[in-house]
Amino acid sequence: MSEGEAGLDDGEAFRKVRQRIADQSKRVVQTKEILSKQAVQTKEKTKEILSKQAVKIAKQAEEHERILFKVTHLMGVLGFGAFCFILGARPQDVPYVYCLFYVTFVPLRWIYYRYKKWHYYLLDFCYYANTIFIIVLLFFPKNEKLFMVCFSFAEGPLAWALIVWRCSLVFGSLDKIVSVLIHLLPGIVFFTIRWWNPETFAAMHPEGRAARVFWPYVEDKSYLWMWLFCVPLVAYTLWQLLYFLIVNVLRRQRLLRDPEVMTSYRELSKKAQKANNIWWRLSGLLGDQNRPTMYILFQGIFTVATMALTVPIFLSYEMHVIFQILKVSATIWNGGSFLLEVMPRQVVLKEKKKLEMKPILEQPRQPVVDLSTNHQHTSDTPDEQNNS
């Protein structure tokens, strides 16, 4: 064989190798194209299935929500009636009813709030105070100094929070019932102990002062101010420091990473900013970066003012009765406003969401394209490239 023929054979072999490589590359491109189109179609089919399932779940949730609302309303009204009966018939048992309520519903609330990313609410002062109430009522029920500290918490910041933060007594909402009772029940408990409990009532009218064993010496005003104002204020300051340490130092990065995690400050600032009310404008006097500090300052002023008011309430039965009526009336009024103003808007929003989901159910299913007939295409159209 001549050198020319050998060169031709080598060139032919080289071209065949190049052709095989080109064919393999072409098949790889075609395979990628097929897989890409299949992935797009699978993604669309998955979206369609998930959308239909979401609509189905939403409908079931709506049906269950209506039943749950009715059941909760029924149990709430019956429970309220039973509590009123116990309050009149056996006021000395009211503290035990309150303890049963707290140890039952607060753990359940933690589970629910953990799921909703609201669990930092349970670091608020109301839960701190309620925990102290439970400890005192169960383990130190006859300690008059601790009683007065608890009285200051219950009829001070917790009681006025019902009015200032517009807590609503809505029997159809378990969350709202628990929120109201956490603030309302402690005041009723310490009202009954202060005025209606047979044991403490007898101690209020001793024949001689030496007979007084378990009841505050109300004639000593400095004693009252010490245990109704000064000591509770120190306990509040301790809570504020612990709260700041946990939320603003130890868990700061966690809160920054997830804006959906709610705290009291986030919730209140969000509502104040949306309403652009006086609190939002006042909290921004020192700049946006100092709003948390201003929030702590306002809360401190609110606490000092409400704790100071507990001293005259503690001394006057008539004033204490009027205050109980005011708290209950405010929550019922706010509940009526919620039912007449807020719930209709929520129903409208739900109907809009249902109308938005309805076209998904009525959308006809698109036929699946047979991709096996498109093997000769080596490139996508611009639309297909965008989809892939």
Question: What is the 3 state secondary structure string of the chain?
Answer: CCHHHHHHHHHHHHHHHHHHHHHHHHHHHHHHHHHHHHHHHHHHHHHHHHHHHHHHHHHHHHHHHHHHHHHHHHHHHHHHHHHHHHHHHCHHHHHHHHHHHHHHHHHHHHHHHHHHCCHHHHHCHHHHHHHHHHHHHHHCCCCHHHHHHHHHHHHHHHHHHHHHCCCCCCCCCHHHHHHHHHHHHHHHHHHHHHHHCHHHHHHCCCCCHHHCCCCCCCCCHHHHHHHHHHHHHHHHHHHHHHHHHHHHHHCHHHHHHCCCCCCHHHHHHHHHHHHCCHHHHHHCCCCHHHHHHHHHHHHHHHHHHHHHHHHHHHHCHHHHHHHHHHHHHHHHHHHHHHHHHHHHHHHHHHHHHHHHHHHHHHCCCCCCCCHHHHCCCCCCCHHHHHHC
- Tell me, yes or no, whether 48 and 111 share the same domain: no
Domain boundary among 89, 120, 143: 89
- Tell me, yes or no, whether 115 and 57 share the same domain: no
Tell whether 149 is covered by a domain.
yes
The tokens of 179 are what?
């929120």
The tokens of 273 are what?
């900013």
Domain boundary among 44, 64, 89: 89
- Tell me, yes or no, whether 98 and 131 share the same domain: yes
Closest C-alpha among 208, 200, 171 to residue 335: 171
Tell whether 4 is covered by a domain.
no
| Rounded Cα distance, 186 and 153, in Å | 9
- Tell me, yes or no, whether 195 and 67 share the same domain: no
pLDDT digits (tens, 9 = 90+) for 146-190: 999 999 999 999 999 999 888 999 998 889 999 999 999 999 999
- Tell me, yes or no, whether 161 and 305 share the same domain: yes
**Positive or negative: CA dihedral 334, 337, 342, 344:** positive
- Tell me, yes or no, whether 99 and 35 share the same domain: no
pLDDT digits (tens, 9 = 90+) for 231-282: 999 999 999 999 989 888 888 888 778 888 888 877 777 777 776 777 777 7
- Tell me, yes or no, whether 234 and 346 share the same domain: yes
Q: pLDDT band for 193, please (50, 70, 90 cuts).
A: very high
pLDDT digits (tens, 9 = 90+) for 365-379: 544 444 444 444 443
User: Is it the case that residue 343 has pLDDT exceeding 80?
Assistant: yes
- Tell me, yes or no, whether 172 and 199 share the same domain: yes
Tell whether 12 is covered by a domain.
no
- Domains of the chain: total: 2
Query: How open is the CA angle 341-70-109, to the nearest 5 degrees?
Result: 85
Tell whether 368 is covered by a domain.
no
- Tell me, yes or no, whether 28 and 172 share the same domain: no
- Tell me, yes or no, whether 323 and 183 share the same domain: yes
Tell whether 364 is covered by a domain.
no
| Predicted local confidence at residue 262, as pLDDT | 82
Q: Which domain holds residue 31?
A: 22-89
Domain boundary among 55, 89, 123: 89
pLDDT digits (tens, 9 = 90+) for 272-325: 777 677 777 777 777 777 777 888 888 899 999 999 999 999 989 999 999 999
Tell whether 263 is covered by a domain.
yes
Tell whether 15 is covered by a domain.
no
- Tell me, yes or no, whether 59 and 133 share the same domain: no
Tell whether 295 is covered by a domain.
yes
User: Is it the case that residue 3 has pLDDT exceeding 80?
Assistant: no
- Tell me, yes or no, whether 32 and 175 share the same domain: no
Length of the chain (residues): 388
Q: What is the mean pLDDT of residues 130-137?
A: 95
